[in-house]
Amino acid sequence: MYLTSQVKKDIFKQYAGNEKNTGSSESQIALFTHRIDHLTEHLKKNKKDFGTQRALLNLVGKRRALLDYLKKTDLMRYRAIIKTLDIRK
């Protein structure tokens, strides 16, 4: 499985500062980005998997909403997370 509990803990520890801080915007965005990367690789191999394509679009929408929230509330945290995750073009 690509997303074990240890991988989640590592993501939360790296981006939220604490593995128990799972609700912070940075940790959620990082987790969504990890899942989006995995689904993108899957769709490169399986072009006709439309269920996965729909799930990917939902995840991108959720990440976009969190990024918009973070941009509206704290611009410095927003810039830091898009720089570390290399989300922008």
Rounded to an integer, the average pLDDT of 77-86 is 94
pLDDT at 19: 80
Could you tell me the pTM of the whole model? Answer: 0.90
Phi-psi region of 51 (alpha: psi -120 to 50; beta: other; left: phi over 0): alpha
Which long-range contacts link 13-21 to residues 24+ away (Cβ below 8 Å)?
15/81, 15/84
**Contact, 32 vs 8, CB < 8 A?**
no
DSSP 13: H
Rounded to an integer, the average pLDDT of 28-48 is 95
pLDDT digits (tens, 9 = 90+) for 16-34: 888 888 889 999 999 999 9
pLDDT at 33: 96
Query: φ, ψ for residue 48 (rounded to 5)?
Result: -100, 15
User: Can you tell me the distance from the alpha carbon of 68 to that of 35, in angstroms, rounded to the nearest whole number?
Assistant: 19
pLDDT interval class at 88 (50, 70, 90) = confident
pLDDT at 54: 97
